[in-house]
Amino acid sequence: MEAIFEKWEDILQTVKEEHEITQISFDTWLKPLEICTVDDHKLYILVPEEMNITGLKYITRRYELPLKVTIAEMTGIEYELVFVLPEEAKKLKTSPKKQPVTSELAERSNLNPSYTFDTFVVGSNNRFAQSASLAVAESPGEAYNPLYIYGGPGLGKTHLMHSIGNFILEQNPDLRVLYVTSEEFTNEVIESIRTGNATAMTKLREKYRTVDVLMIDDIQFIIGKESTQEEFFHTFNVLHAAGKQIILTSDKPPKEMETLEERIQSRFEWGLMADIGVPDYETRMAILRRKVEADEMDLSDDILNYIATNIKSNIRELEGALNKLLAYSNLVKTEITMDIAMKELQNIITPDKPKEITPQLIIEVVSEHCQISLEQMISKNRSSAVARPRQIAMYLCKNMTNIPLESIGKLLGGRDHTTIMHGVNKITEEYETNENTRTLIETIKKKINPN
C-alpha cells in the first residue's frame, strides 16, 4: 500500500513521458491529482474542487487507462481507480462503496446494477464502443442518437448498454430509462395485438414512447416480424423526434441485416455505430483478474494465463471457466492447482484440438448470421432472401473445406454440381467487386473460425 504513495510522483511523470503528454496538459490534469486513500485494490484519487464533475469525467476518460497501466507496471498491483471530488472524499471512510441506485424508476428500468462502466474492462477491442457509450451516458439524446453497438456473442454489448443506463440514473435518477430485449418487445407487441383491444395497444405505446432512454438488446431478432418492426419504427420516430436517447445492440452492422426493412436499417445508421471485437490476450487477462478479485478467489497467474490463452473469442465463456473453478473450490475446499484446473476445464478447453471446420458448421453459422432457418437453407425456395445465404454457404464450403462439390450439393438440399458451381462463382465475383459482400463474408468467416 505504501509503495504507491512513495511512487506517485514518478508514476505521473512516467504517464507523461510514455503517452507524450504536453507540459500544459500535464500541469492542468495530472499534476494536481493526489492519492486520497487506498481500500483493498481500490485507489481513490482526489480531483481538486475547481475541476468539478466535468473535469473529473474528462480525467477519467482520458487518463484512467494510462494511469492504471503505469501503476500496475510500477507497483505490480492492478488497482481499480476511483476519481473523487473533495466532497465525496469526505464520505469515504464511512461509505467507501458506491450505493446502488434503488429508486422506483431505477427498478422499473430492468437494469442489472452490477453491469457498470466501473466493472467493464477496456481494451483495444472495445475502447471505441466504451467511449461512445460513456459519451451517450454523459449527455443522453445529444451525443449520438441512436447508439448502435454490435459484435459477436458474449463480448460485452449488454454489459455496456446497462452501464449507460446505470450511469444515467446515477447522474439523474428522475429520468425514465427502459431496457428490454427484442424478444420481450416482440412478445409485448404480439400480446397487445392478440388481446385485440385498443387499451392494450395504448398501454404498450405509453410504456415505450414516454421514456427518456430506450434500450433494446439484440435488435436483429425483430427481422421478419412485421408488426414488431412496424411498432418499433414508429416508436423510434417518436422518441428520436423528441430528442430521447435510443440505444440498440445487435450481432451485426445494419448493412449486413439484409432482410431488414430499408427504412429501419437506415435509421440504425443515423447516429453512431460502434463495434466490439474479440479481446486481445491482455484484455482477457485483465477481465479474469478483475473477476478473481471480485470473487475473492485465489488462483495463480499460470492458471489465468492458461484460461486466457485457450478461450479467446467469448468473455462469457472466459467467465464460465472461472465460475467452474470457483464452484469446485467451494465444494472441495482445496487450493486449485494447475492440474486440477486443467482437469476441471477439459470440457471447455481443448487446447490442441481447434474446432473442426465442417460444411455442417458453415451452414449453421451462415443460417444463424443471415437469420434464415436451416430448413430454408436446404429448401427449394429460390427467393433472394434465402438463395443468397445458401450461395454464401456454398462459397464458404468450397473455400474453407476440402469437400467435393457433389457433397456440398447433397448437404444443401440435394443440389447438383452445376448449381453449386454457379453459386460459388456468383459469390466469388461479388467478393471481388463488392465491398459489402467482402465485409459480410469476412464477418461470417470469423464466426466460423475465430482463431
Ligand X SMILES: Nc1ncnc2c1ncn2[C@@H]1O[C@H](COP(=O)(O)OP(=O)(O)OP(=O)(O)O)[C@@H](O)[C@H]1O
Q: Is 157 annotated as a binding residue?
A: yes
Cell representation of residue 175: 429520468
The smaller minimum CB distance to ligand X, of residues 234 and 316, is found at: 316
Q: In this structure, are residues 220 and 251 in contact, taking their beta carbons and an 8 Å threshold?
A: yes
The three cell numbers of residue 416 are 447438383
176 by Cβ neighbours in 10 Å (0-12 / 13-18 / 19+) ranks as middle
**The three three-digit cell numbers of residue 356, written as one number:** 473442426
Phi, psi for residue 346 in degrees, rounded to 5: -65, -25
For ligand X, the closer CB: 312 or 410: 312
Point out which residues bind ligand X (CB under 6 A): 115, 119-121, 126, 151, 153-159, 251, 287, 315-316, 319
Exposure string of 353-390, with b = 16+ CB inside 10 Å and e = fewer, is eeeebebebbbbbbbebbbbeeebbbeeeeeeebebbb
Report the residue number, 120 or 395, with the smaller CB distance to ligand X.
120
> Quick one: 51 or 318, whose CB is closer to ligand X?
318
Q: How far is the CB of 120 from ligand X (least distance, A)?
A: 5
Q: Could you tell me the smallest distance in angstroms from the CB atom of residue 80 to ligand X?
A: 12
Known binder of ligand: residue 334?
A: no
Q: Which is nearer to ligand X, 316 or 343 (CB)?
A: 316
Q: Which residues pair with 147 in a beta bridge?
A: 247, 272
Q: How far is the CB of 308 from ligand X (least distance, A)?
A: 13
Smallest gap from residue 29 Cβ to ligand X (A): 25
Side-chain-side CA neighbours of 315 within 13 Å: the count stands at 30
Report cis status (omega within 30 of 0) of the bond before 96.
no
Smallest gap from residue 287 Cβ to ligand X (A): 5
Select 121 or 274, whichever has its Cβ closest to ligand X. 121
- Least separation in angstroms between residue 145's CB and ligand X is 21
- Residue 156 assigned ligand-binding role: yes
| Residue with cell string 431496457 | 179
User: Whose CB is nearest to ligand X?
Assistant: 156
For residues 228 and 189, the answer to whether their CB atoms sit within 8 Å is yes
- Please give the annotated binding residues, written as ranges: 154, 156-158
- Please give the annotated binding residues for ATP, written as ranges: 154, 156-158
